[in-house]
Amino acid sequence: MTTPSFSPDSRVGTGLRIGVLALQGDFREHLHAMETAGATGVGIRRPAELDGLDGLIIPGGESTTIDKLSRIFGLRDPLRERIQAGLPVYGSCAGMILLADQIADPATDLAGNPQQTFGGLDITVRRNAFGRQRESFETDLDFRGLEFSAVAGAVAPVHAVFIRGPWVERVGDGVEVLAQVQPSKAGHPESLDGTARIVAVRSGKLLATSFHPEVTGEKRVHELFIRMIRGEA
């Protein structure tokens, strides 16, 4: 299917320097999305590479591995400090988990210590909530905040791919729900117990989705993030 691209009238990211955490996961796809938008995409592996960024993307992958590698590379504390200081950040799938203040079912290491997050979003997430790899699915979502992409007054739904995706079980004050999966639209609706599940949220300049827009070529979520950086959304 054809998915909406960036606004045709301009390269919305021109002049911006946006990092993508490149420790593990599908960071290359996010870098491509940023470059397509006209921004300078920078793979981030060292603390010094955080300097001069206008925004940061935390990609999908293995949240436990990204957590571990961030500490090995000395990135965890600097990242937490930048997020707390107001750096705009978008997290997709594993990135959502790493931006959450609380994980309902954290993985533990061999010593029994729970995995850590960078935090910033006052939400509680559940890992692999929609099931394992074989239970991945696709669906169309009504997504708030994409009015800039309206054609003839209508905003096209976002075609979302869920691959071992988390969902949000709790949102705190100031966290806006942007999209939910309805039980009838899930690959395995019995896992939802008849309850819509939150799959996209925003708080200030932090944005997170359970799904992978970088996989489908859906560019509007990245454009929303760019507009958030510029103060236009």
Active-site positions read: 93, 212, 214
CA distance 100 to 109: 19
CA distance 221 to 148: 11
Give Cβ neighbours of residue 4 (< 8 Å, ≥ 6 apart).
Answer: 149, 156, 218, 219, 220
Residue 39 φ/ψ, nearest 5 degrees: -80, 165
In 3D space, the residue among 230, 212, 220, 166 whose CA is nearest the CA of residue 27 turns out to be 212
Q: Is 119 exposed, middle or buried (0-12, 13-18, 19+ CB in 10 A)?
A: middle
Under a CB-based contact definition with an 8 Å cutoff, are residues 88 and 53 in contact?
no
Q: How far apart are the first and last CA of the chain?
A: 27
